[in-house]
Chain A
């Protein structure tokens, strides 16, 4: 069974792990494409390479365009200049032609001779920068040759400087510029180019140019410009023949293109960068070069052609420019592109690296997560295992303990008895340990669920105190509880677990404290601010501070006067709390309304002791399981050290924190906060707080004086008295109280006359004249008509001798043993004052039986047991607490009695019975009830008069109180169990739980 159970745990754990992994693995984009990452990188690099190439190309092309533009503009500029200069020269030559015609032919005799011409032309040479020189040749027909030769005195010569052969006509140079004086008397018609030129010129009447040729004299390439000069004025539109007829001569100029262009270009910027060629392209198939070299290196890829118009429509010229050097590699473009590429490469690499890193980190993360889930699962499995195992161990342990108990009852030798007793003690310790481990494991496995039921915090604290009262009294340690008035009467929470926490802490304190006090204090967590209002102090004498230093030994203003670890609990801060409440009482209505607005209430609980404290080294592992201060602790004080760790878990489950302050040899103060729900007033006011001990109201309005030198302790006493509705005043010593009483008694009348005087034993003993003043107090009262106040002594422990002394001193009425509890005080006061119900003060009186009485009083209870004796005992016990008891001797009989409707409030059911056992009977009862409920709900839907459902609380009575039985009890519909035979405490717990929960389920 156990193995199977564990397997199923295992299975469920692995399933959980898988589920968690499945849901948690959310893939990111990067994670999903991790295999593609290198490819992405490659693609990126390629794209970027392409892009940078493109950038390079683009920049390069831009450069080229710009180069071309520069070239064309330079070329055009040169062409235009050349053309301008050329046309200027041409125009001037034209002017010369007109000059010659005017002054040579129209004047008679001619105004021009060679000398005049040479001088004039030399002086106007600047006008014709492109012309190396000009000359005038006269038209001479053959018939006039002789006449001409005679007139001039020389013969006409050909270009080769030979006497000219006979021709139809000649064109000998008669005037010439000095620069070309060598051509005088040469027949221009003898040169091929010149002749053609002459013919064309006289036919058109315009300037004509030759094709380039090597000029005479210089060996430069050049062209000759020829203008016709006419003898007579021509008609407006002369024919070709008329022009030829009218021709008188020809004016010619030689353009030394090469040198002149050289000069011209030399003046321009950027001359070095480009090569300029000028061509005559009249014959389109054969370009004649006019300027520049035919075969040149230079950038052949890029050239620019510009048209030149020299004014001769027959001839066409062209200028071609190109760069000297090939286009230089564009470094800017190259660098830019390269840098771009490099940057992109780096960016790509960085992105790639980042992606790889992300992938790695995510992988790691997932791995960690998986490990974490596994670890958690292992932890849960461990806790489950622990829970199971410790549960399983308990059963055989109970057997062992039972057998040991039996063994001890047999006749044993003293040694054997000793062994067996040791074994039993160990076994009990083991069971305690197992229970604690089980608790802790349950908490860790998350199986511990907290109840949310209304409960009275104060009564729980009283209960816990009463548990430890015996021990503390034996040790002489003062045990006290104080709950701030601001803490609501009823809170919603888990009373059982709250009790466990308090029990743990107080238990620890009791264990480790040999002297001094243990003080449990509860207040709201939100009022730490002290209020400085001296008026709020209601001490009869405000000068209590002066008594803080008692001769020699330093007295601390704590509960018992011993130093406490946490100063916050000393009177200095405590009085503010009390004072605060004082004020609050005045304006209670308003404040309460404000308080109830919030849904939850945070309480601050502190447990202060003056024990051995926790060594500093051990303080940080106090809450770790199985860690005690040191190994000697468990030897001296026992315990396993798991209690505090459970306490911490419980506190945290309740939404609070626990902390402590401890000083070795001084004491420890554990404080924790816890969050409880606020109880709606309506939900418990009409149900009359069933579990809260009904404190008798007979003391309301009574006046009490507390005589106590220690203000904290006095406040605690007042707290309990206040719960009974009494008005309380403080007095620092008996004397003061006595004088106050006396004064009041004589002057103000009975209004301020105290009904009760409670005197702390210490205060009584410390004042040597205590007894005396008490007696005077008594006497004073006796002197008046007022009834004397009841004198009550408060003591933690008291010896018989002291008791006798106290009786003698006037405390005839009673002595209340501490720790104080409201119910106990009430009981004592009842006894003293003789009010209230007459109740025999048995031993149960002090141990919560009055509580039980209030719980069970008037309740009708059915006891089902087949055992006659048991039945009688159970009935007797319940009757004692005021319940009306009916008995049934079998399950069947019980069923009959519980036929609906019935008037029972609860049913105690034995489990092992013949015929029909308790489980079966309960099941049947529940079935009956649910049928009735269904019918009722179906029948009276509209009426909410009877909303309560039939559900009689059934408590099992069983002798073996192990958990398995308890679980079974719950399974078949029972509400709890009590151990058999009845123990009061156990009975109270079970009944309290049920009577508390019932009104909630009803309302």
Chain B
């Protein structure tokens, strides 16, 4: 009974993530790539994303603190971030990155700072949400159930 509830909870939670636009169908694709040969694919990729994103966000913060800001470099870094977020289907982060890049191109420091804050915020949210989702999944697996598709 407990297991079924957990499973339902996971499904609801995941649905809400899609619904609120945190995730898009790319994440579904990602899940579909996971099979018995590669059981931890999603978690692996997502943690890669976390690693990469944190590094990038740090570098971006540093770059914006500099006297002379290297917008080109920043643009490339935001591009990276955009690429990885779109790869895992972190929809909101990806969209923000597009705006961020526009500011970088326009060399708008104000805008960049604002955007960086937003991206960090969104990143934080998605990280939390994904982590809690994985926890749920883990719980289900530990309880001996299968993850509903």
**Separation of A982 and B33 alpha carbons in the complex (Å):** 11
Q: Given A409-B21, A981-B86, A983-B29, decide whether A868 and B98 contact each other with a Cβ distance below 8 A.
A: no
CB <8 Å contact, A870 and B33: no
**Separation of A405 and B41 alpha carbons in the complex (Å):** 30
CB <8 Å contact, A872 and B95: no
Stretch at the interface among A125-133, A604-612, A873-881, A942-950: A873-881
CB <8 Å contact, A870 and B87: yes
Q: Mark A700-718, 1 if CB is under 8 A from B, else 0.
A: 0000000000000000000
**Separation of A984 and B95 alpha carbons in the complex (Å):** 23
Specify which of A872, A873, A914 lies most central, judged by the most chain B CB atoms within 10 Å of its CB: A873
Least distance between B42 CB and chain A CB atoms (Å): 9
Chain B residue nearest to A842 in the complex (CB): B32
Least distance between A868 CB and chain B CB atoms (Å): 5
Q: Given A840-B35, A879-B38, A912-B79, decide whether A869 and B84 contact each other with a Cβ distance below 8 A.
A: yes
Chain B residue nearest to A914 in the complex (CB): B76
Give the chain B neighbours of A597 by CB distance below 8 A: none
Stretch at the interface among B5-13, B44-52, B127-135: B44-52
Q: Given A402-B98, A876-B38, decide whether A868 and B52 contact each other with a Cβ distance below 8 A.
A: yes
Give the chain A neighbours of B80 by CB distance below 8 A: 866-867
Give the chain B neighbours of A70 by CB distance below 8 A: none
**Separation of A983 and B89 alpha carbons in the complex (Å):** 12
**Separation of A983 and B30 alpha carbons in the complex (Å):** 10
Q: Given A844-B32, A867-B80, A912-B79, decide whether A873 and B98 contact each other with a Cβ distance below 8 A.
A: no
**Separation of A77 and B71 alpha carbons in the complex (Å):** 140
CB <8 Å contact, B95 and A869: no
Give the chain B neighbours of A866 by CB distance below 8 A: 80
Whether, in the assembled complex, B83 has its beta carbon less than 8 Å from a beta carbon of chain A, the answer is yes
Whether, in the assembled complex, B107 has its beta carbon less than 8 Å from a beta carbon of chain A, the answer is no
CB <8 Å contact, A876 and B41: yes
Give the chain A neighbours of B141 by CB distance below 8 A: none
CB <8 Å contact, B38 and A867: no
Whether, in the assembled complex, A843 has its beta carbon less than 8 Å from a beta carbon of chain B, the answer is yes
Chain A residue nearest to B49 in the complex (CB): A869
Whether, in the assembled complex, A406 has its beta carbon less than 8 Å from a beta carbon of chain B, the answer is yes
Counted as pairs of residues, one from A and one from B, with CB atoms less than 8 Å apart, the total is 74
**Separation of A983 and B87 alpha carbons in the complex (Å):** 11
**Separation of A887 and B3 alpha carbons in the complex (Å):** 40
Give the chain A neighbours of B91 by CB distance below 8 A: 409
**Separation of A327 and B83 alpha carbons in the complex (Å):** 123
Least distance between B133 CB and chain A CB atoms (Å): 18
CB <8 Å contact, B32 and A870: no
Least distance between A151 CB and chain B CB atoms (Å): 181
Whether, in the assembled complex, A450 has its beta carbon less than 8 Å from a beta carbon of chain B, the answer is no
Give the chain B neighbours of A409 by CB distance below 8 A: 21, 91-92, 95
Specify which of B38, B48, B82, B87 lies most central, judged by the most chain A CB atoms within 10 Å of its CB: B87
Give the chain B neighbours of A868 by CB distance below 8 A: 48, 51-52, 84
Q: Which of B25-76 contact A (CB under 8 A)?
A: 26, 29-30, 32-33, 35-36, 38, 41, 44-45, 48-49, 51-52, 76
Chain A residue nearest to B86 in the complex (CB): A981
CB <8 Å contact, B35 and A842: yes
CB <8 Å contact, B33 and A880: yes
Whether, in the assembled complex, A65 has its beta carbon less than 8 Å from a beta carbon of chain B, the answer is no
CB <8 Å contact, A873 and B21: no
Give the chain A neighbours of B89 by CB distance below 8 A: 981
Whether, in the assembled complex, B143 has its beta carbon less than 8 Å from a beta carbon of chain A, the answer is no
CB <8 Å contact, B88 and A869: yes
**Separation of A111 and B84 alpha carbons in the complex (Å):** 181
Give the chain B neighbours of A842 by CB distance below 8 A: 32, 35
CB <8 Å contact, A869 and B26: no
Give the chain B neighbours of A315 by CB distance below 8 A: none
Q: Mark A849-881, 1 if CB is under 8 A from B, else 0.
A: 000000000000000011111101100110110
Give the chain B neighbours of A877 by CB distance below 8 A: 29, 33
**Separation of A869 and B76 alpha carbons in the complex (Å):** 15
Q: Which of A872-917 contact B (CB under 8 A)?
A: 872-873, 876-877, 879-880, 912, 914
**Separation of A842 and B32 alpha carbons in the complex (Å):** 8
Least distance between A610 CB and chain B CB atoms (Å): 34
Query: Chain A binding site: helix, strand, loop or mixed by DSSP?
Result: helix
**Separation of A866 and B80 alpha carbons in the complex (Å):** 8
Give the chain A neighbours of B76 by CB distance below 8 A: 912, 914
**Separation of A867 and B33 alpha carbons in the complex (Å):** 19
Query: Chain B binding site: helix, strand, loop or mixed by DSSP?
Result: helix
Whether, in the assembled complex, B147 has its beta carbon less than 8 Å from a beta carbon of chain A, the answer is no
**Separation of A252 and B66 alpha carbons in the complex (Å):** 176
Whether, in the assembled complex, A980 has its beta carbon less than 8 Å from a beta carbon of chain B, the answer is yes
Q: Mark A710-746, 1 if CB is under 8 A from B, else 0.
A: 0000000000000000000000000000000000000
CB <8 Å contact, B83 and A869: yes
Give the chain A neighbours of B109 by CB distance below 8 A: none
Whether, in the assembled complex, A959 has its beta carbon less than 8 Å from a beta carbon of chain B, the answer is yes
Least distance between A847 CB and chain B CB atoms (Å): 10
Which listed residue, A405, A844, A880, A980, touches B95 by the CB 8 Å rule? A405
Whether, in the assembled complex, B106 has its beta carbon less than 8 Å from a beta carbon of chain A, the answer is no
Least distance between A910 CB and chain B CB atoms (Å): 8
CB <8 Å contact, B92 and A981: no
Whether, in the assembled complex, B99 has its beta carbon less than 8 Å from a beta carbon of chain A, the answer is yes
Q: Given A843-B32, A869-B88, decide whether A981 and B41 contact each other with a Cβ distance below 8 A.
A: no
Q: Given A409-B21, A867-B87, decide whether A876 and B52 contact each other with a Cβ distance below 8 A.
A: no
CB <8 Å contact, A406 and B32: no
Chain A residue nearest to B83 in the complex (CB): A867
Chain A residue nearest to B89 in the complex (CB): A981
Give the chain B neighbours of A843 by CB distance below 8 A: 32
Give the chain B neighbours of A873 by CB distance below 8 A: 30, 33, 45, 87-88
CB <8 Å contact, A872 and B45: yes
**Separation of A870 and B52 alpha carbons in the complex (Å):** 11
Give the chain B neighbours of A840 by CB distance below 8 A: 35-36
CB <8 Å contact, B29 and A982: yes
**Separation of A870 and B86 alpha carbons in the complex (Å):** 9
Chain B residue nearest to A910 in the complex (CB): B83
Q: Given A406-B98, A409-B92, A869-B49, decide whether A880 and B35 contact each other with a Cβ distance below 8 A.
A: yes
CB <8 Å contact, A869 and B52: yes
Give the chain B neighbours of A982 by CB distance below 8 A: 29
**Separation of A507 and B44 alpha carbons in the complex (Å):** 41
Give the chain A neighbours of B38 by CB distance below 8 A: 876, 879-880
Chain A residue nearest to B46 in the complex (CB): A869
CB <8 Å contact, A869 and B98: no
**Separation of A933 and B91 alpha carbons in the complex (Å):** 46
Give the chain B neighbours of A879 by CB distance below 8 A: 38
Least distance between A880 CB and chain B CB atoms (Å): 5
Give the chain B neighbours of A869 by CB distance below 8 A: 45, 48-49, 52, 83-84, 87-88
**Separation of A980 and B85 alpha carbons in the complex (Å):** 12
Q: Given A869-B48, A869-B88, A959-B86, decide whether A876 and B33 contact each other with a Cβ distance below 8 A.
A: yes
CB <8 Å contact, B88 and A867: no
Chain A residue nearest to B82 in the complex (CB): A959
Least distance between A873 CB and chain B CB atoms (Å): 4
CB <8 Å contact, B86 and A980: yes
Give the chain B neighbours of A406 by CB distance below 8 A: 95, 98-99
Least distance between A303 CB and chain B CB atoms (Å): 127
Specify which of B29, B36, B88 lies most central, judged by the most chain A CB atoms within 10 Å of its CB: B29
**Can you identify 12 A-B contacts, CB atoms within 8 angstroms?**
A406-B99, A840-B36, A865-B83, A867-B52, A867-B87, A869-B48, A869-B87, A870-B84, A870-B87, A876-B33, A876-B38, A981-B87
Question: What 9 A-B pairs come out closest when comparing CB atoms?
Answer: A869-B84, A867-B83, A873-B87, A876-B33, A869-B49, A870-B87, A869-B87, A981-B26, A872-B45
Beyond A409-B21, A876-B45, A877-B33, 8 additional contacts (C-beta under 8 Å) are A406-B99, A842-B35, A867-B52, A867-B80, A873-B88, A876-B38, A912-B79, A959-B82
Q: What residues of chain B have their CB less than 8 Å away from a CB belonging to chain A?
A: 21, 26, 29-30, 32-33, 35-36, 38, 41, 44-45, 48-49, 51-52, 76, 79-80, 82-84, 86-89, 91-92, 95, 98-99
Q: What residues of chain A have their CB less than 8 Å away from a CB belonging to chain B?
A: 402, 405-406, 409, 840, 842-844, 865-870, 872-873, 876-877, 879-880, 912, 914, 959, 980-984
